[in-house]
C-alpha cells in the first residue's frame, strides 16, 4: 500500500495550519507491514517533524505536492484539500482526513465524483459500540485546550473582562458555560473546574450529565438540561461560553441567538468548537479573510475551525494513533476487503468510487 502525505495548505490567509496527516513514528511502524510513504518536503515541519525524521523512518521525501498525490493509493490529510490541490487528485484514489462534507465547496464534490474517488471522513468513522475513534481523542485535546484559549482571551490587553479564571481568596472565579457534555465538553468542564472556575454544563441527554457528575463528584460543576430558557439565563452572567455540540456528518444546531449574545457581559468570551460544522451560535462565522478572533456586541468570539493546530505536535500524534489500526488493516488485507469488512471505515465513507452516500447528499 502506498500512502501520500502532502503538506497542509491553510484554509484561509489568517488561519494557520501546522498539523500533518501522519507522524514519522507511525509511518515507521506501518512500513513494517509493507507500506510505502511519499511525503511532501516540509509537510511535518510545523508539527516539529523535519524531513530527516521521515527519511530515518524509511519514507521518501518528494519536492512537489503533485508527486505526493500522484504516487499514492491513499492520501492522508488533516483537512479537506484546498482548491489548488484538486488537479492532483487521482482517478479512483482514496482520500482520508477531516472532510466535513456539509461545508465542502461544490467544486470539491464535483471533482471527487468526476474522478470516482473514495472519501473517508475521520469525523464520521464510528466503531460498533458507537465510539468515534479519531474524533474522541481530538475532542479531548480541544476540551483541555479551551482553558488555555479562554484564559488568554479574558486578559485585559485583548479587550477581555480582565479576570482570572480561578479567582483568588475574596475575589470570585470566572463563570463558565459549556454547551454539550460529550468528550470535548466533559474535558473542558474538568479542566475549567480544576482551574477554580465555576462551571455549568448543559446537554439534552441525561446519561451524559449523569456520567459527568459521577466523574467529577465534589467539583465546581453544575449540570443542567439544555433548554432555551436555561441557555438564556446562564449566558447573561457567563464570562466564558464553550460550544461543544457535535452531530456527526450534519450541520451543528443553532443554540445561541444574536439576542442571547447581545445580552452577555462586555468582554465575555465565546469559543465555538462546532464552527467546522457551521457553528452553534448565530454570530459564529468563518471570515473570508480567516480572521477567527473577532468581537460582536462586545463579546469576543473564537471560531477557529482547526483549533487543535495550536498544539500541532500533540494533535498529529493523536490523529496518527487514531487511524493507525485502520491503515494497518488496509495494508495487510487490501482496500476492497477492508472497506467491505471493517465497520468503522465503512461508516466513515462519504463518497465511494464517486458516488455520494444518500445521507450525505447536500
Beta-bridge partner residues of 243: 179, 272
Count other Cβ atoms within 10 Å, centred on residue 56. Answer: 11
**330-351 pLDDT, tens digit each:** 999 999 999 999 999 999 999 9
Domain boundaries of the chain, sorted by first residue: 2-130+312-356, 135-309
pTM value surpassing 0.95: no
**225-242 pLDDT, tens digit each:** 999 999 999 999 999 999
Whole-angstrom distance, CA of residue 209 vs CA of residue 215: 10
**260-285 pLDDT, tens digit each:** 999 999 999 999 999 988 899 999 99
Q: Quick check: 288 pLDDT over 70?
A: no
The reply to whether 135-309 shares the fold of 2-130+312-356 is yes
| Residue 30, all three cell numbers | 506501518
Whole-angstrom distance, CA of residue 157 vs CA of residue 92: 51
Q: Residue 250: which pLDDT band, with cuts at 50, 70 and 90?
A: confident
CA distances from 313 to 17, 47, 292, 295, 310 (A): 12, 4, 21, 29, 9
- pLDDT for the residue 274: 92
Whole-angstrom distance, CA of residue 179 vs CA of residue 195: 19
Query: Are the C-beta atoms of 94 and 117 separated by less than 8 Å?
Result: yes
Q: Quick check: 107 pLDDT over 90?
A: yes
Q: Quick check: 216 pLDDT over 90?
A: no
Determine whether domain 2-130+312-356 maps to CATH 3.40.50.720. yes
Annotated catalytic residues are 100, 276
CATH T-level fold of 135-309: Rossmann fold (3.40.50)
Q: Quick check: 217 pLDDT over 90?
A: no
- pLDDT for the residue 362: 64
- pLDDT for the residue 2: 97
Q: Quick check: 214 pLDDT over 90?
A: no
**110-134 pLDDT, tens digit each:** 999 999 999 999 999 999 998 999 9
Lookup result for grid cell 468581537? 295
**47-73 pLDDT, tens digit each:** 999 999 999 999 999 999 999 999 999
Percent of the chain with pLDDT over 90: 87
Lookup result for grid cell 481530538? 138
Beta-bridge partner residues of 12: 15
Amino acid at each position: 500500500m502506498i500512502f501520500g502525505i502532502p503538506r497542509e495548505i491553510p484554509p484561509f490567509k489568517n488561519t494557520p495550519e501546522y498539523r500533518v496527516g501522519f507522524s514519522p513514528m507511525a509511518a515507521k511502524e506501518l512500513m513494517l507491514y509493507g507500506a510505502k510513504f511519499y511525503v511532501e518536503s516540509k509537510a511535518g515541519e510545523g508539527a516539529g517533524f523535519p524531513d530527516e525524521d521521515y527519511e530515518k523512518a524509511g519514507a521518501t521525501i518528494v519536492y512537489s505536492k503533485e508527486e505526493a498525490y500522484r504516487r499514492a493509493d491513499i492520501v492522508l490529510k488533516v483537512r479537506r484539500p484546498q482548491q489548488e490541490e484538486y488537479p492532483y487528485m487521482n482517478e479512483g484514489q482514496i482520500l482520508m482526513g477531516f472532510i466535513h462534507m456539509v461545508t465542502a465547496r461544490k467544486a470539491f464534490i464535483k471533482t471527487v465524483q468526476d474522478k470516482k474517488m473514495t472519501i473517508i471522513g475521520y469525523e464520521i468513522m464510528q466503531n460498533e459500540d458507537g465510539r468515534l475513534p479519531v474524533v474522541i481523542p481530538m475532542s479531548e485535546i480541544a476540551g483541555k485546550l479551551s482553558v488555555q484559549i479562554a484564559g488568554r482571551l479574558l486578559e485585559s490587553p485583548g479587550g477581555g473582562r480582565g479576570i482570572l479564571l480561578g479567582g483568588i481568596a475574596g475575589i470570585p472565579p470566572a463563570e463558565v458555560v459549556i454547551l454539550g457534555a460529550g468528550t470535548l465538553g466533559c474535558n473542558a468542564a474538568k479542566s475549567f473546574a480544576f482551574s477554580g472556575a465555576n462551571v455549568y454544563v448543559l446537554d439534552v441527554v441525561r446519561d451524559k450529565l449523569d456520567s459527568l457528575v459521577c466523574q467529577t463528584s465534589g467539583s465546581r460543576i453544575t449540570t443542567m438540561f439544555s433548554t432555551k430558557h436555561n441557555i438564556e439565563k446562564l449566558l447573561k452572567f457567563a464570562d466564558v461560553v464553550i460550544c461543544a455540540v457535535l452531530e456527526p456528518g450534519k450541520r451543528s444546531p443553532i443554540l445561541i441567538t444574536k439576542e442571547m449574545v447581545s445580552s452577555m457581559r462586555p468582554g465575555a468570551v465565546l469559543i465555538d468548537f462546532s464552527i467546522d460544522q457551521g457553528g452553534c451560535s448565530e454570530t459564529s462565522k468563518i471570515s473570508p479573510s480567516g480572521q477567527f478572533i473577532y468581537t460582536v456586541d462586545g463579546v469576543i468570539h473564537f471560531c477557529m475551525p482547526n483549533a487543535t493546530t495550536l498544539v500541532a505536535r500533540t494533535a498529529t500524534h493523536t490523529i496518527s494513533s487514531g487511524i493507525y489500526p485502520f491503515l494497518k488493516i488496509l495494508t495487510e488485507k487490501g482496500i476492497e476487503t477492508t472497506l467491505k469488512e471493517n465497520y468503522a471505515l465503512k461508516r466513515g465513507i462519504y463518497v465511494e468510487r464517486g458516488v455520494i452516500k444518500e445521507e450525505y447528499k447536500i
